[in-house]
């Protein structure tokens, strides 16, 4: 193989590696939520928890925060509190009322 072909092949390989690195970096950035998206998501979760649990929603969030060792306003805590509120609602529906 002539030397000039080997040189162009090397340049092409380096360019392909650079393009792949840039694409991977862009995809990783795309997964992160902006601050505005995080605030919006937190408000949506808080509203959903309020609708499910009413006044007990903040207490559920505090209990989940204590259990998980995180802030009561973190997304993971709010999602866990919503899941707990849904389980509580489901169990209350399953219990027949005595009349």
Over the stretch 21-79, which tens digit does the pLDDT of each residue have?
Answer: 888 887 766 566 678 888 999 999 999 999 998 888 999 999 999 999 999 889 999 99
CA atoms within 13 A on the CB side of 16: 6
The vertex-88 CA angle with 82 and 91, nearest 5°, equals 140
Q: Are residues 28 and 41 in the same domain?
A: no
Check residue 5 and give its pLDDT.
80
Give the pLDDT mean for 3-30.
82
What range defines the domain where residue 94 resides?
A: 33-99
The reply to whether 14 and 58 lie within a common domain is no
Convert the pLDDT of each residue in 77-92 to its tens digit. 999 999 999 998 888 8
Q: Are residues 23 and 47 in the same domain?
A: no
Alpha carbon separation from 72 to 41, 45, 64, 65 (Å, rounded)? 14, 12, 7, 5
Same domain, 19 and 59: no
Instruction: Identify the residue with better confidence: 32 or 99.
Output: 32
pLDDT of residue 65: 93
Same domain? 45 vs 23: no
Helix intervals (H) in 1-99: 3-31, 35-53, 57-68, 75-94
- Of residues 21 and 6, the one with the higher pLDDT is 21
Residues 57 and 68 placed together within one structural domain of the fold: yes
Give the residue from 89, 35, 90, 97 showing the smallest Cα distance to 57.
Answer: 89
> HSE (CB half, 13 Å, CA atoms) of 12?
6
Residues 46 and 21 in one domain: no
Q: Are residues 43 and 88 in the same domain?
A: yes
87 and 64 within one domain? yes
Q: Within 10 A of 86 (CB to CB), how many other CB atoms are there?
A: 14
- Domains of the chain: total: 2
**Do 28 and 43 sit in the same domain of this protein?**
no
């Amino acid at each position: 193989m002539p030397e000039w072909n080997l040189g162009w092949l090397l340049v092409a390989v380096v360019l392909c590696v650079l393009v792949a690195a840039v694409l991977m970096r862009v995809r990783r950035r795309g997964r992160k939520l902006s601050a505005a998206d995080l605030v919006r998501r937190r408000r949506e979760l808080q509203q959903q928890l309020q609708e499910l649990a009413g006044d007990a929603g903040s207490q559920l969030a505090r209990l989940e925060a204590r259990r998980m060792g995180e802030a009561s306003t973190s997304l993971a805590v709010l999602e866990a509190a919503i899941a707990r509120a849904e389980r509580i609602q489901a169990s209350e529906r399953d219990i027949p009322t005595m009349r």
